[in-house]
Amino acid sequence: MEDIGTNGTSLSYGDVSNRNKVILKEAEAIWEVRSAFGLVFEDHRELVIKAIAA
């Protein structure tokens, strides 16, 4: 299934899926940086990563 973007380009499911994986990896990296700086979040890791990636 292909969707046409606003600029006329098409995005495949694979393109979107790959981009989502990149965003998730970036969110996980932010979590690790948080740890290095000693920052503490009240929520669990998974909730914070989902919020960052959203």
> Into how many domains does the chain fold?
1
**Dist CA 7 CA 9 (whole Å):** 6
**8 located within any domain:** no
Residue 9 reports pLDDT greater than 80: no
Structural domain boundaries, residue 48: 23-54
Encode pLDDT of 16-34 as tens digits.
889 999 999 999 998 889 8
Helices and strands per DSSP (H, E), number in the chain:
2, 2
Work out the pLDDT band at 49, boundaries 50, 70, 90: confident
- Judge if pTM exceeds 0.75: no
**Dist CA 43 CA 48 (whole Å):** 6
**44 located within any domain:** yes
**52 touches 38 (CB < 8 A):** no
**51 located within any domain:** yes
